Structure 1
Amino acid sequence: MAFERPPSWRTMFRKVHLWLGIGLALLIVPITLTGLVLVFDDEIDEVLNPSLYATTGTAVARPADEYMQGASEAVGGRAAMLRWPDGEGRPVTVMVRLQPPPSAVERKLDGERGTNRSGRPEGQAGNRRPPSRLVYLDPPTGAVLGIKDFRNSLIGQVHVFHENLMVPEYSGRAIVGWTGVALLLLSLTGLVLWLPRNARLMRAFAWRRGPTMSINLHHLAGFWISIPLGLMALTGIVLAFPPQASAVLNALDTPQPPVRRTGADPLMPHPALTAERAIEIGKDAAEPETPRMLAAPSITTRAWRLEVEAPDGTRHSISIDDATGQATLERPPRRGDVIGTWMRRVHEGRSYGPIWATLAGLCGVLPTLLAITGVLMWLRKRRNKAALRGGTSALTNSRLMPAESA
């Protein structure tokens, strides 16, 4: 009795690479293309909305309270977060909550309405953030340059699609995460299959890996992008599964209670401290760091949160109690959280200079090329097999050679 020879490891890798690529191409291509847009989202947004970036200078000359008050009046809500310009000539931005006026919030706090099981006033259950608007302000004058509903803007919709395929209620984020797992496997198996069978390494870099342009493009483009693409896939997996990733990354660290953020909690109606005073207290506790973000206190935290940047580029946060004015440096993050932050910055593609931004951009566009050339190679292989079964002489045409023999 004759036994069939088991498939080689190379054959198994090829089948995994083939069916993951073809089976998930309709997910991988749009996810990576939207990632390309997000690498350069600021530049794209400036082209689409030039008025939002029409600043008259670079000096942040107005008090923080003036920026926040101007943004609140422009929208008719409550200023929740102030961000200083992230580059020369960039605007000041303020995120404004569209929520009931202070008197209504006060009535809720006074017991006119009860609280739900989450401890929030009725109507604020769950983690869903209240609607908000992003207000752009001129740094020297404080004038309002424009107002954006970020989640419903073009860039905002690209963000939503890239994060959860616009179907968060149907596990869209998890689908994106598992697509990242498939993309990581494609990168690793493709790198192994790139090596020639005869182990002549220099031949692997040659253009003539096959008789057609699609084969050559697939081999060379796939090799040069495999490691950056695998890194982008790995960091995307971490971002798609934050609780699980945090548990793994922090497995060897001492457990710490979570830090409570403003989140969806209503803002304090009448803080005792002004924004400018909170900044002064925070800067005194963190000299010589530069302020980057200020979050207003909520009815839960009852503390301002100031994020500052050290001269070496690292950032940390300071909590300023609204009642006492006491500044407390937030505990240093765990090693796993530091790694997670690094992974987020790698995935965003803009934090490590133009070279990495270019590589991140290629990770967005080249998977489309690889998907197209991979499908062409697969179709050519099917035609070859059909020709062999039919006993035709079609294989005399070099362009119908099996891709594996390249």
Structure 2
Amino acid sequence: MYMLLMEADLTTLDLSSHQPAARPKTLRSWRAAWLKIHLWLGLALGLFLSIIGVTGSLLVFFHEIDEALNPKLRIVTAPAQGKAAWRPVDEIADAARKAIPVGSQLGFCYWPQRDDEAFLFYYQIKAPGSDGVETRHVFVDPYRAEVTGTRRWYAAGNPFDDAFVAFLFRLHYALLVRGTGDIAVGIIAILAFVSTVTGVVLWWPRNGKWRGAFTWKWPAKSERLNYDIHRLSGVFLLPVAIAVLLSGVYFNLPTQFRTVVELFSPLTNADKLRSAAPDGTPSVSLDDALEIVARRFPDGRVYALVPPQAPDSSVRIHQLFPVGWGIEGRRTIYIDRYKGDVLHVNDPLAGNGDGFVAWQWPLHSGYVFGWPGRIAVFLFGLSWPLIFVTGIIRWRQKRLARDAVALRRI
């Protein structure tokens, strides 16, 4: 939500030009319309976007926050040889399976990015005393293939029973509203994108004085200071805003997002990728699947994996890899669980719709530029409440000024 509530500056228009006389009036009318759209979107969405922004800033570092809060679960003692001393990944996964209830399925797994991190597996169970399902974690020490503990992540009922970081996620993507909250946040992201566009239109220097458009006036009165904070906070973080808002629409409205993308390029439906029919041949081990991926894509490092979820499903491995110029992408590789064939690669460098979709997670998380990118997304999230508050102050200042003029006319 970029509430760039810019004052009309029609004095810079050259009224002596050969333009029709109606042109300045038309510009004023359009500007007034953009300003109203921008203002009311800001007033209506500002509080929600502030909550989404602050939680998003925290979630940029959710692994670090969760590790600081739960060191006994997430941090392990690493030997001197580091990851070279890991037990086989299949042994690590088996340890996790033995620690979860019968009938539960190991799901998404975060891969340790440091030597002293544990494996983190997701799984789901029926919540005791209800028909709901809760999401849980099991952690495994990779050097000993021993479980360091389990915990509830998403509660089936009250979101205040979630783990702290899980609560932040639910507040960020659904505002704690079950069922329709994620849709509402997706719509808010679309409207915030519209607000951003209107803010750019209002900020755009029609007199061609670009230096002034990027300049902070100092020293200045409080009104001008508030104005500059408001507009420059939006301008300097504009590229981040476009990337985060667009990817936010993808995460909250994936079906609709993909439908629009498919108007320009076909997309692969990963849910329809199937492994060969089992014929008594044993499944490819996770270690073998990882070796296949490492041979084909030696430039990448594993970020996450998903074991097969059904007899005909695939092994899914997520890699982070350098693109160049400090940019990092994430590719997803689907491996046939019986033959070991690569069924599909969702590669951001593919130059098609699949590639475009593959960019959305690195952009939204900031991982696209490593630590600088994550810090940029962190600052962008914090800018939302700042822009909201300065926008409210700006609006009040203009209302008070109009009221004062009206009183003088009485």
**Equivalent position of 1:133 in the other structure:** 136
- For the residue of structure 2 that corresponds to 1:366, the secondary structure is helix
Asked whether the equivalents of residues 35 and 202 of structure 2 are also in contact (C-alpha less than 8 Å), the reply is: yes
Relative to 1, partners in 2 of residues 1:76 and 1:14: Cα closer, same or farther, differing over 3 Å? same
Match of 2:145 among 130, 142, 145: 142
* From 351, 361, 366, the counterpart of 1:349: 366
**Distance change (3 Å), C-alpha of 1:278 and 1:383:** closer
Which residue is 2:325 aligned to? none
The runs of 5 or more residues in structure 2 that have no matched partner are: 1-21, 155-161, 323-328
Quick one: which of 314, 330, 333 aligns to 1:317? 333
Residues 1:183 and 1:293: Cα distance change in structure 2 (over 3 Å): closer
1:37 to 46, 58, 70: 58
Residue 185 of structure 1: CA displacement?
2.0
**Displacement of 1:235:** 1.7
Corresponding position: 1:56 with 2:77: yes
1:357 to partner: Cα distance: 1.1
**Counterpart residue number, 1:68:** 93
Give the alignment's TM-score, normalised by structure 1: 0.75
Which has the larger displacement, 290-299 or 71-80? 290-299
119, 143, 149: which is aligned to 1:92?
119
The answer for the alignment partner of 1:328 in structure 2 is: 341
Q: Cα 1:294–1:344, aligned 2, differ >3 Å: closer, same or farther?
A: closer
Q: CA deviation at 1:144?
A: 2.2
Give the counterpart letter for 2:151 in structure 1.
Answer: K
In 1, Cα distance between equivalents of 2:138 and 2:316: 19
Return the offset for 1:378.
0.7
Residue of structure 1 equivalent to 2:291: 283
Q: Greater CA deviation, 227-236 or 245-254? A: 245-254
1:314 Cα shift?
5.3
**Aligned-partner SS, 2:99:** helix
- Distance in 2 (CA, whole Å) between partners of 1:229 and 1:363 is 7
Q: Determine which of 170, 177, 192 is the counterpart of 1:167.
A: 177
2:247–2:361 CA contact under 8 A, matched in 1: yes
Question: Cα RMSD between the aligned structures?
Answer: 3.4
| TM-score of the aligned structures, taking structure 2 as reference length | 0.74
Return the match for 1:366 from 374, 383, 388: 383
Alpha-carbon separation, structure 2, partners of 1:181 and 1:159: 19
Query: What SS does structure 2 have at the residue aligned with 1:80?
Result: coil
Structure 1 residue 202, shift from structure 2 partner: 1.6
1:339 alignment counterpart: 356
Offset, 1:41: 0.8
Secondary structure of the 1:136 match is strand
Q: Give, as a single letter, the amino acid of the residue that structure 2 aligns with 1:71.
A: A
Q: Deviations over 1:203-227 (max 9, x none)?
A: 2233239742211211222221223
Compute the displacement of 1:99 (Å).
6.8
Identify if the C-alpha distance between structure 1 residues 61 and 317 changes in structure 2 by more than 3 Å, giving closer, same or farther. same
Q: Aligned residues, how many?
A: 351
Change (3 A) 1:204 1:304: closer
Letter in 1 for 2:140: L
Matched, 1:27 2:69: no
Shift of residue 304, structure 1, vs aligned partner: 4.8
Structure 1 residues 223 and 132: alpha-carbon distance in aligned structure 2, compared to 1, 3 A threshold = closer
Are 1:155 and 2:157 an aligned pair?
no
Identity %: 24
| Structure 1 unaligned residues grouped into runs of 5+ | 101-123, 263-267, 394-406
In 2: Cα distance, 1:391 partner to 1:285 partner: 76
Counterpart AA for 2:192: L
Q: Is residue 266–residue 353 contact of structure 2 (8 Å, CA) maintained in 1?
A: no
C-alpha contact (below 8 Å) 1:278/1:304 kept by paired residues: no
> Conserved in 2, the CA contact under 8 Å of 1:39 and 1:350?
no
* Distance in 2 between residues matched to 1:362 and 1:22, nearest whole Å: 21
String of CA shifts for 1:21-68, please: whole Å, max 9, x gaps: 112112111111111111111111122112223211132521234322
What is the rounded CA distance, in whole Å, between the counterparts of 2:49 and 2:120 in structure 1? 33
User: CA distance change for structure 1 residues 69 and 331 in 2, over 3 Å: closer, same or farther?
Assistant: closer
The aligned residue for residue 403 of structure 1 is none
1:352-402 deviation per Cα after TM superposition (whole angstroms, max 9, x unaligned): 212211110111001111110110111111111111111189xxxxxxxxx
| Shift, 1:88, TM fit | 3.8
Aligned pair in 2 of structure 1 residues 273, 351: CA closer, same or farther (>3 Å)? farther
Which residue among 194, 213, 216 is the counterpart of 1:185?
194
Residue 215 of structure 1: aligned partner: 227
Sort the Cα spacing of 1:197 and 1:352 in 2 relative to 1 into closer, same or farther, 3 A.
closer
